A = this chain, B = another copy of it.
């Protein structure tokens, strides 16, 4: 097989049923061999309990014999729904979402669902486009990241009957169901933690504040709480571009050279924090005595660092599993819309604070 250049585009004239030798078997073939109608075959495949064991056996044999595989598109078209779950994430590289994705997949793959994945690149317009094209597949459900959407996206999401889950964030007004945690409270928690640990002056290393509004919510919580517990506004640097360790190290160095009095820094994520930790080491600042560093995410190396990196553990996997659970119920129609699930987060103190 494997039609190379000039594939033998055998497309018989309409009306003629001549197919090239080994065409993919259709349900009609199974029906014929089993001596029943396609309706019965369809039933046997989707609601076996409605078919007599005897007939069911014959059908199973025919299916086996032909190695029949149903054409999912035909089924989806006829029933107006497909065993597909659309998931839109803002980045495929960010390990946070990968873990959630894997958990969704684990929780749903068993039930025969496929994930259709879209990458919004943190752009609301791209998200809108993706939502439209995913809905065009009549997915069984659609999962989007965050609760902020363009007007058009909002309209599309409200208009459809497809179950929608907004994840990685909370809102009072979910489109359908929201599963996540409060990003803002993370900033609050870290600011308080620094206070408790006796820090005198806070710093912040951020990234993509104009695009990643969730990261921005964390920052806002951090700044507001800092002020409210008696600090002056934290010193701040923003990374140019994606948050990487190398950029984190550099930005951190800048921050410290501009504000040498800073003695506690929150980094927008662990990758950046790791860069800062290495840079502190190179600069000879002792951690946590002279300088405290905290990340966000609790990625696996955070526990392996020297000193261990204090960070905020996010329910990355829990979000995915919860989504799978809720979706199974929503799809089955057993669950009302409007649920908001706060899965929380945890400040993990290690050696760096």
* A residues in contact (CB < 8 Å) with B: 1-7, 22, 69-74, 76-77, 82, 84, 91-93, 95, 98-99, 101-102, 105-106, 109, 112, 114-119, 132-138, 158-161, 164, 175-176, 244-246, 248-249, 271, 274-275, 278-279, 281-282, 300-301, 303-306, 333-338
Contacts and interface: CB of A to CB of B under 8 A. Distances in A.
Instruction: For the complex of A and B, list the 10 residue pairs with the smallest distance between their C-beta atoms, beginning with the closest.
Output: A245-B304, A245-B301, A92-B102, A4-B337, A244-B300, A72-B136, A4-B336, A275-B304, A73-B77, A278-B306
Contact of A246 (B95, B175, B303): B303
Given A1-B159, A4-B336, A304-B249, A119 B102 contact: yes
A160 B2 CA distance: 6
Contact of A114 (B77, B134, B275): B134
Q: Is the interface of A mostly helix, strand, loop or mixed?
A: mixed
Contacts of A117: 101, 105, 115-117
Nearest to A136: B72
B93 A160 contact: no
Report how many copies the assembly holds: 2
A137 B274 contact: no
A278 B249 contact: no
A114 B116 contact: yes
A92 B82 contact: no
Given A301-B245, A338-B4, A98 B92 contact: yes
B92 A138 contact: no
Nearest to A132: B69
Contacts of A116: 84, 114-117
Contacts of A244: 300-301, 304
24 contacts: A1-B161, A2-B161, A2-B164, A4-B336, A5-B336, A71-B77, A72-B133, A72-B137, A73-B138, A92-B98, A92-B99, A95-B95, A102-B119, A105-B119, A106-B119, A114-B116, A114-B134, A246-B304, A271-B301, A274-B301, A274-B304, A275-B301, A279-B304, A281-B306
A39 to B, nearest CB: 14
Contact of A137 (B6, B7, B73, B118): B73
A158 B114 contact: no
